[in-house]
């Protein structure tokens, strides 16, 4: 047999094996997965991410910069109430920072102690203690964490208020279906 034909034959055999081998391996590896209940699938998050916002800073050349704020509710059931009051929360944050802009050093924001200050003013704006922790991150952080933004933060279950409202709506619809049956 000619070397050229032999190479083509070996190449074709390799292609066939590469196509068949994963299919054979997946037949043995796949086990039926347990279905998650709707409540588990759409469990309320432990943290809420507010939309990134521009805030005043103390910098020689810039006047504003972006921050992303994460809120930790006292109880997960308070998430819906907190999301309904996001404008009041954002207003409280801006009122604090309009009086005392975020200081900077070498072009970076110094956020030490800002979270404790935010916590006091946010709970005052909500008229009761619904927030037990605030995490402030400089810049715009992607909610999905595809670039690894959320992977370095100290929590895993996070969602924005839009996603939380969708979850609550799905849970409400599921409850209505259960009542009808």
Whether residues 97 and 135 share a domain: the answer is yes
This prediction's pTM: 0.63
Token pair 């003013």: residue: 121
Whether residues 105 and 147 share a domain: the answer is yes
**Structure tokens given for 17:** 């094996």
| pLDDT on residue 159 | 63
DSSP state of 106: T
> 107 pLDDT exceeds 50?
yes
When comparing pLDDT for 7 and 52, which is higher?
52
pLDDT per residue over 35-58, tens digit each?
555 455 445 567 788 888 999 999
| pLDDT on residue 51 | 86
Whether residues 25 and 50 share a domain: the answer is no
pLDDT per residue over 115-133, tens digit each?
999 999 999 998 888 899 9
* Residues whose CB is less than 8 angstroms from the CB of residue 133 and which lie 6 or more positions away in sequence, other chains included: 71, 72, 115, 119
**Structure tokens given for 124:** 């005052």
Token pair 């999905």: residue: 144
Quickly state the pLDDT bin for 94 (edges 50, 70, 90).
Answer: very high
Spell 67-95 as b/e; 16+ CB within 10 A means b: bbbbbbbeeeebbbebbebeeebbebbee
Whether residues 85 and 24 share a domain: the answer is no
When comparing pLDDT for 176 and 160, which is higher?
176
Domains: count for the chain? 2
Token pair 């992303």: residue: 68
- Residue range of the domain that includes 149: 40-180
């Amino acid at each position: 047999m000619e070397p050229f034909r032999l190479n083509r034959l070996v190449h074709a055999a390799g292609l066939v094996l590469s196509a068949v081998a994963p299919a054979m391996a997946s037949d043995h590896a796949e086990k039926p997965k347990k279905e998650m209940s709707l409540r588990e699938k759409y469990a309320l998050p432990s943290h809420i991410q507010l939309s990134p916002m521009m805030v005043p800073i103390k910098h020689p050349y810039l006047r504003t910069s972006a921050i992303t704020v994460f809120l930790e509710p006292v109880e997960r059931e308070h998430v819906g109430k907190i999301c309904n009051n996001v404008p009041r929360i954002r207003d409280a944050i801006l009122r604090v920072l309009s009086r005392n802009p975020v200081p900077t050093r070498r072009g970076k924001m110094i956020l030490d102690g800002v979270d404790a200050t935010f916590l006091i003013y946010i709970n005052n704006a909500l008229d009761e203690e619904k927030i037990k922790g605030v995490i402030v991150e400089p810049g715009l952080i992607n909610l999905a964490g595809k670039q690894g933004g959320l992977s370095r933060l100290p929590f895993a279950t996070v969602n924005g208020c839009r996603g939380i409202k969708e979850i609550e709506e799905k849970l409400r619809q599921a409850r209505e279906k259960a009542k009808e049956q």
